[in-house]
Amino acid sequence: MTNNLPENDDAPWLNLTPQEVEALRYNKQELTSYGKEKFQQLLEEYRKQNKKPTLWDIMRDKLGFSIDMCDEIVDAVEEWLPPQHETNDYQWNRCIQMMKDKLR
């Protein structure tokens, strides 16, 4: 069956040429990349504004400890925390990792 419509399996009712379809795909990809980049920037900004203080931040900013003392205490706490291990429960390992992430 022959017709004069361009071959377009994506949306034949639009009557688009293959070049127009490719241009639309390219523009969609560009907009998608732009949107992802913008979203990441906004998410990073949000996280910075809503970041909870770490143990190091509290000791330095609220308690007035010296930088060296903060480092020493955080190092000691980090060393004190039990290690993660494959035989531990997943939640236990997750808890240990969360504590380590909140140190600095």
- List pLDDT tens digits, range 12-29: 777 888 898 888 888 888
Q: Tell me which residue of 68, 63, 65, 52 sits closest to 102, measured CA to CA.
A: 52
Confidence at residue 9, expressed as pLDDT on a 0 to 100 scale: 66
Cβ-based neighbour number of residue 70 at 10 Å: 20
The answer to whether residues 96 and 79 touch, using CB atoms and an 8 Å cutoff, is no
- List pLDDT tens digits, range 26-43: 888 888 888 889 888 988
Residues 6+ apart with CB under 8 A from 52: 102
- List pLDDT tens digits, range 42-92: 888 887 888 888 999 999 999 999 999 999 999 999 999 998 888 888 888
Is-above-0.75 flag for pTM? no
Show me where the domains of the chain are located: 15-49, 55-101
